[in-house]
Structure 1
Amino acid sequence: MALGTSAARPTARLLAASILRYGLLVPAPGCLAFTKSNSSSSSSSSSSSVSSPSSFDNHHHRHRHHRNFTSTPARLQENPPSSPSSTEPSSSGANTTTTAKSLFTYETQEPVYDSTKYDYHTLPQTFGANQYMYINEDLRQSLRQLLWEFKAPIRYAFAYGSGVFSQGTTSSKEKPMIDLIFGVTYTQHWHSLNLTEHKDHYSFLGKMGSGVVAKVQDGFGAGVYFNTYVEVNGIMIKYGVVNLDTFCRDLADWETLYLAGRMHKPVKILRDDARVRLANQANLLSALRVALLLLPEEFTEQQLYHTIAGISYLGDPRMNLFTENPHKVANIVSNQLPNFRRLYAPLVDTLPNLVFKNDPRNNVPKDTILLQDMDIVRRGNMVRRLPKAFRKRLYFQYQRKWQIPQLEYEKLVGTSEEQEMMEGRQGGEFEQRMAADMENIRKEVKTVIKGTINWPSTSQSFKGFFTTGFVKTWKYLGEKIKKWKTAKKSPEAGKS
C-alpha cells in the first residue's frame, strides 16, 4: 500500500500516537527526553527540536558539548510519574530511601515493536537513536569510504569487533581486522554483481557462480556468507552478507541468535534501514527481558550488561574450544560501558518493572544498582513478550518438564496473533507459573539459549571452510588460538 494513500494515514497516526503514549521515542543527544510523564505535552514541539538518525552520524560534533542522555538515564533526569507510591529524588541528588515497591510505576502497557504489524516507514526521526554509536572520526570516514568500493547495493551495514570498539586486548601497534555485516535485498543478485567487481574476495565457491554462493549462504548455517582477509583501501576486513529478511527474522524472533546476539552489543551503523532499526529495537528489548529473567532482584549495572553481552556466547562452541578469549565478555563490557549505557539506558526507562535504585551520577559505574519487580504477573508478562521462536522453545521445555498433555497445553498458550495484540501480550496462568519457578527458570532459559545458538553457530563455523577457503580459515583459527593462549597467561585481564 502506498504511504501517501488515505488508508495508510490512520496507520501512521496510530503508530505515532502509540510511540508517544508508551514512551518509546528515544531522544537524540542534546534534546529533551520523552518520558511517560511528559510525552503528551512534548509531542507538539518534538518535530522541530530533533534531528534524523543519519544526522547523528554526520554531525555528531554538534552535540559534543550538550548533555548526553545515555550517560544519565531519562528516569533520573525527569520527575517520576506522580502516583501515591512515587517519591521525587531530593534536590541534592542524594540516593532515595524509598522502599523497593515505591520505585516502580504500575502502568499495564509496555513497548511492543513488531515490524509485521506497523509500517516502519512512518517511524519518528529519532526512533532508535540509542543504536547509534560514536567512534573515532578518521575511522568513521574510512569505513564510510570503504562501502563506496562495493558497487552492489548494500541496504544496511554495520561494523563491529575489536577493530572498531576497544576490548582492551589489542596493542597500539596491531591493526586488527575490521568486521562488517552487509544486509542485502536479493542474495544471488548481490553476489552476481559483487563477483563481477571483486571475484578475488571469494574462495573456490566463487568460480561456481552466484547461484551456488547464494545457495550456500541461505541454505546452511545462520544465513551469512563471509569473505575474510580482504584488503580494501589499505584496510584488512572480513565482511558477511545476509539477506534482510533473514536478518530481521532473527532480530525479531531469535531463530538462530547469530546476528541478533551480535547486535546485543554496541555496533557502528554505517548504512541504516528503518525496517532493521525497528526489528533491532525489539531485539534489544528482548535481550533486556531475558537478562532480567536470569538476574536476581537487585544487581549492578555492569552485571546487567555482562548478562546481556553473554547471551550470544552461552551456546557458542568456540567458547568451549581453544579459539576464543575466555575473558571476552568481561573485556567487552568493561571497555565499552558508555556504549552499553547508551544502548540500554533509554530502554530501561520504558520498562515499569525496572529502575535504577541509586543515581549513577553520584556513583562510579560499577556501583550503580538496579532493582527489578519480582511480581509473578509482571514476570509472566515478560515471558509472554519474549521473541516468538525463542518463546516456543521455552514453552516446550516447560511442557515437557511438567508433562502437560498437548490439548491442555494448547489451551494455555494457544492465543491467536490478533488476540495477542489486542490483549497487549499479557502473560496468563502458564506464563505466571513459569515466572514463579524461580529456582529453575534461569536454568531453563539458559538451556534454550544454548539450544538456539549451538547448531547454527557450529554449522556456520564449518561453512567457513568452504566460504573462506582452507588456507584463510586455518590462518583465522591460528590467530584465535594465539589470543586464547595470551588470555590464559593473564587471567586477571578479564576482571573488571
Structure 2
Amino acid sequence: MANSALVSVVPPLFERILSIFPRQYIRFCFAYGSGVFRQGGVSMGKPMIDLIFCVNNSVGFHKENIATNPSHYSALKHLGPYCISFIQEKLPANVYFNTLVPLKEVDVVIKYGVVLESDLINDLLDWNSLYLSGRMHKPIKILEKPGDELDMPLRQNLFSALHTAFLLLPEVFSERELYHTIADFSYRGDFRMRFGEDKNKINNILDKQLLKFRKLYKPYLKTLTDYVDLPAEDEVDKPMMQDMSTATRIYHLFQLPTLPQKELVKYWRAHGGRRRGDAEDVLQDLAVTTKLSKMLEHCLSKIVLKSSIQQSLKGILTAGIFKSIQYSNKKIDKMKKSRVQAQT
C-alpha cells in the first residue's frame, strides 16, 4: 500500500470530477497546486485545479474520453486516440495535458495531464525529466490510491529528494531550508520561472504548507538518523545537522536517481575530472570535491530546463494556440502581481 502520509480522504468535489472521466483506466490520480492547497502571495480569484491521471492504457483512456468529453481536447482529437497517445508517450515528459477545461457540472476549471503508468515509474525512479517526479516532491492530494506497482517508486522518489537535498545543503540547516531545497528541484532551471511564473512561488508554497511537508517527509527522515540529527518533536525551530564525512557523501551520491548520476559523471569528466575509470570511481571523486553542490545544481537545472522547454512546446500542440495564449497570459498576470506585491 502507499504511504499513509500521502493518502487522504477524497472530498465530494473531487469524486464528482473523477466521475466525469473513464475511471476504469486510472491506476493512480492526484491533484496538486494552488487550486488544491493554500499558498501565500497574490490572490488571483478562483484558482484552476491541476490533476494527473496515471493510466494503464493510454489509447483506451483517450478513446473513451474523446467520446465522452470531446470539448476537453484541441483539434488534435480529430486525429484519433492513437495519435493522441503517440504524442503523449513518444514526445518529451510523456504527459498529455488538456488545460483550461471548464467543468460546469461542478463549477470549476481544471487542467489535467495523462501519463502511462510505466512512464511515471521511470520518472519517479530515474528523474528522466523531473517533470512529474518533481511535482510529487511537494504535498499532493491523492484521489485514486496507487497500486503495488507504484508504491516503491513513490517512496523512492521521496528518498531521492532527501539524498539530493543533503548534498546541496551545508552541514547545519533549518527544516524550512530543507523543504525549500526540495521544492526548488522542479523549478530549478525551468525557463518559465523567468517569463511566466510567480518568482515567490516556493516561499508562497512553504508559507502555507510547511506542516504538510513535515508530514510527508517525517517517516523518511526517521530512517536516515545515521546521517542527519533531527530535532525533537517539540523543537520546531532547532536546526538540523548532517554528517559531512566522505563516506556519507558517497552514500548519498550512490542513492541519487540514474539521470542526475549520469549528468554528474559527464560534467566531472568534461571539466577536468577523472576521464577514465567507471562511474563508481567518479562518484567517489565527487564526494570529496568542494564544488559538488554547484555541480549537482547545474545537473538538475539542465534536466529541468530541457523538459520544461520541450513540454511547453508540446503544450502549444496539445492545447491549441488560443488556449496556450490564454494560459500564458494568466501566468504572466500572476507574475506581475507578485512583483508588485514584493515591492510594496
User: Do they superpose with TM above 0.5?
Assistant: yes
Which residue is 1:338 aligned to? 211
The residue type equivalent to 2:5 in the other structure is N
Match of 2:258 among 383, 388, 393: 388
Query: Could you tell me which amino acid in structure 2 is paired with residue 337 of structure 1?
Result: L
Partner in structure 1 of residue 283 of structure 2? 431
Structure 1 segments (4+ residues) deviating >3 Å: none
Greater relative CO (CA pairs within 8 A, separation 6+): 2
1:472 pairs with 2:323: yes
Post-superposition Cα deviations, 1:123-151, rounded to whole Å, max 9, x if no partner, equal xx5x51222357xx7xx221122101112
1:449 is aligned to 300
Report the Cα offset of residue 340 of structure 1: 0.2
Matching residue of 2:160: 286
Distance 1:350 1:368 in 2: 19
Give the superposition deviation at 1:431: 2.7
Instruction: State the match for 1:329 in structure 2.
Output: 202
Q: Aligned pair 1:305/2:157, yes or no?
A: no
| Secondary structure of residue in 1 paired with 2:41 | coil
Distance 2:123 2:272 in 1: 29
Map residues 310-321 of structure 1 onto 2, 5 A cutoff: 310-321=184-195
How far apart are 1:399 and its partner, in Å? 2.2
Could you tell me which residue of structure 1 aligns to residue 88 of structure 2? Answer: 217
Note closer, same or farther for the CA distance 1:186–1:374 as it changes in structure 2 (3 Å cut): same
Unaligned runs of 5+ in 2: none
Q: Deviations over 1:348-391 (max 9, x none)?
A: 111120122x435144xxx2311100011011011011111221
1:376 aligns with 2:250: no
2:202 partner amino acid = V
2:268–2:282 contact (8 Å) kept in structure 1: no
The AA in structure 2 aligned to 1:432 is Q
> TM-score normalized by structure 1?
0.66
Task: Give the deviation of 1:170 after TM superposition.
Answer: 5.3
- Contact 2:228/2:241 (8 A) holds in 1: yes
1:132 paired with 2:3, answer no
Equivalent AA in structure 2 for residue 376 of structure 1? T
SS at match of 1:131: coil
Kept in 2: contact 1:381–1:431 (CA 8 A): no
CA deviation string 1:431-450 (max 9, x = no partner) = 33211112x11111011101
1:354 equivalenced with 2:228 (yes/no): yes
The answer on whether the counterparts of 2:22 and 2:61 sit within 8 Å (CA) in structure 1 is no
The answer to whether the Cα contact below 8 Å between 1:315 and 1:453 also exists between their aligned partners in 2 is: yes
The aligned runs of 1:33-72 (5 Å cut-off) are: none
Amino acid in structure 1 at the alignment position of 2:307:
P
Q: Is 2:339 aligned against 1:491?
A: no
Deviations along 1:268-296, whole A, 9 cap, x unmatched?
A: 01001232232111011111111111100
Cα 1:403–1:301, aligned 2, differ >3 Å: closer, same or farther?
Answer: closer
Gaps of 5+ in 1: 1-124, 414-428
Per the TM alignment, residue 345 of structure 1 is displaced from its structure 2 partner at its CA by: 1.5
1:245 aligns with 2:97: no
Q: TM-score, normalised by structure 2?
A: 0.94
Equivalent-residue separation in structure 2 for 1:295 and 1:222 (angstroms): 28
3-state SS of paired residue (1:277): helix
Q: Is the 8 A contact 1:179 1:238 kept in 2?
A: yes
Deviations 1:295-348 (A, max 9, x none): 000000000000000011111110121x10000011111210010000112111
Tell me the alpha carbon deviations over residues 95-143 of structure 1, each in whole angstroms, 9 at most, x when there is no partner.
xxxxxxxxxxxxxxxxxxxxxxxxxxxxxx5x51222357xx7xx2211
Residue in 2 aligned with 1:481?
332
Contact 1:221-1:457 at 8 Å conserved across structures: no
Q: Which of the two has higher C-alpha Rg? A: 1
| Letter paired with 2:96 | Y
Map of 2:74 onto structure 1: 203
Match of 1:409 in 2: 277
Q: Percent same amino acid at aligned positions? A: 37
Aligned partner letter, 1:214: S
Kept in 2, the 8 Å contact 1:264–1:287? The answer is: yes
The aligned amino acid for 1:154 is: I
Number of corresponding residues: 339
What corresponds to 1:157 in structure 2? 29
CA contact (8 A) 2:52 2:112 kept: yes
